[in-house]
Chains A and B, each alone.
Chain A
Amino acid sequence: MNCIIIDDELTARAIVSQLCSKIPELDVIAEFDNAIDAIKFLNQESIDIVFLDIHMPGFSGVDFVQTLKNSPKIVLTTSDTDFAIEAYEYESIVDYLVKPITMERFEKSIRKIKNSTPSNSRPTQEEGNTIDGEDLYINIDRRLIKLKFNEIMVIEAKGDYIDIKTEKETYHVHTTLKKIKEKLPEKIFLQIHRSYIINFNKIIDIEDNSVLIGKNVIPISRSNRPELMRRLNLL
Chain B
Amino acid sequence: MTETPNLNYIKELSGEDTDFEKKFIDIIKQEFPEEVNTYCHHIEQNQWDMAAEIVHKLKHKFNILGMEQAYGLAVIYEENLRKKDTGLDKDFQEILNHISQYLRTI
**Which residues of A does B touch, CB under 8 Å?**
8-12, 14-15, 18-19, 21-22, 55, 57, 79, 99-100, 102-103, 142
- Is the CB–CB distance between A11 and B31 below 8 Å? yes
Q: In the complex, A57→B14 CA distance in Å?
A: 29
Q: In the complex, A8→B9 CA distance in Å?
A: 21
- Is the CB–CB distance between B12 and A103 below 8 Å? yes
Interface class of chain B by DSSP: helix
Q: A102 contacts which chain B residues (CB < 8 A)? A: 12
- Is the CB–CB distance between A15 and B13 below 8 Å? yes
The 8 Å CB contact of A10, one of B14, B20, B27, is B27
- Rounded to whole Å, the gap between the CB of A48 and the closest CB of chain B is 23
- Is the CB–CB distance between B27 and A18 below 8 Å? no
The 7 nearest A-B residue pairs measured at CB: A100-B63, A79-B60, A10-B27, A10-B31, A18-B20, A14-B27, A11-B28
- Rounded to whole Å, the gap between the CB of A106 and the closest CB of chain B is 10
Would you give the 0/1 interface string for B7-34, flagging 1 where the beta carbon is closer than 8 Å to chain A?
0010011110100100110011011000
Decide yes or no whether B53 CB sits under 8 A from chain A: yes
Q: In the complex, A9→B31 CA distance in Å?
A: 8
Q: B28 contacts which chain A residues (CB < 8 A)? A: 11
The 8 Å CB contact of A19, one of B13, B53, B64, is B13
- Rounded to whole Å, the gap between the CB of A214 and the closest CB of chain B is 34
Decide yes or no whether B57 CB sits under 8 A from chain A: yes
- Rounded to whole Å, the gap between the CB of B57 and the closest CB of chain A is 6
- Chain A residue at minimal CB-CB distance from B71: A79
- Rounded to whole Å, the gap between the CB of B70 and the closest CB of chain A is 13
Q: B59 contacts which chain A residues (CB < 8 A)? A: 79
Decide yes or no whether B56 CB sits under 8 A from chain A: yes
Decide yes or no whether B42 CB sits under 8 A from chain A: no
- Is the CB–CB distance between B24 and A11 below 8 Å? yes
Q: In the complex, A8→B53 CA distance in Å?
A: 12
- Is the CB–CB distance between A9 and B14 below 8 Å? no
Q: B27 contacts which chain A residues (CB < 8 A)? A: 10-11, 14
Q: In the complex, A8→B57 CA distance in Å?
A: 9
